[in-house]
Amino acid sequence: MRRISSDYDHERYDPAAPVVEIGVAKSGSADPAIRLTALVDSGADATMLPIDVLQTAGGRYITTRKMRGVAGRPIAVEMYLVKLFIGPLTFLGIEAVAMTPNSDAILGRDVLNQMIVTLNGLANVVELSQ
């Protein structure tokens, strides 16, 4: 079993939040084009990435969907196809929502449900394994 362990982020989030380093690349690439830290968010249906990251990675705008936040009516969002890397793990065919530059990257259940995710809040550590 391949396992990744990552410390919670105390600086950017209060209370501290589980984060993990991810790599992003275009479909078919063997290696990430860019790396960044993403919030582990089991409340999010989809992974969300800043547009500058998606463009640097070479992600392709493939469709538009509707998305609803905690309140309000659904709005259209743009989906980009990318490949994700988390440590030694790779995830093909990820349709990520495009956000404005400098937004927090969010790792949603489209990726999290492909792994065992353990949140150890007392130790402030998130463990991902597959």
Partner 1 sequence: MSVMQAYQGVVRQGRIQITPPAELPEGSEVYVVVTGQPVRLTAVAGVLHVSPDRPAMEREQEAFRQMLPELLNRYRDQYVAVYQGQVIDHDRDQTALVMRLDQTHPEAAVLVKRVTAEPERVLRMPSPRLSRDG
The identity of residue 15, as a single letter, is P
CA-closest candidate to residue 53, choices 111, 96, 7, 101: 101
Shortest distance (Å) from residue 46 CB to partner 1:
5
Burial of 86 (0-12, 13-18, 19+ CB in 10 A): buried
Q: Please identify, using beta-carbon distances, which residue of 1 and 36 lies nearer to partner 1.
A: 36
CB of 104 to partner 1, least distance (A): 8
| Shortest Å, Cβ 3 to partner 1 | 25
Query: Does the protein bind partner 1 through residue 26 (CB under 8 A)?
Result: yes
Chain position carrying tokens 């999290």: 112
Q: Is 7 in the site for partner 1 (CB under 8 A)?
A: no
Look at residue 22 and give its three-state secondary structure: strand
Tell which positions 29-88 bind partner 1, by CB under 8 A: 41, 43-46, 48, 50-51, 58, 60-78, 81, 83
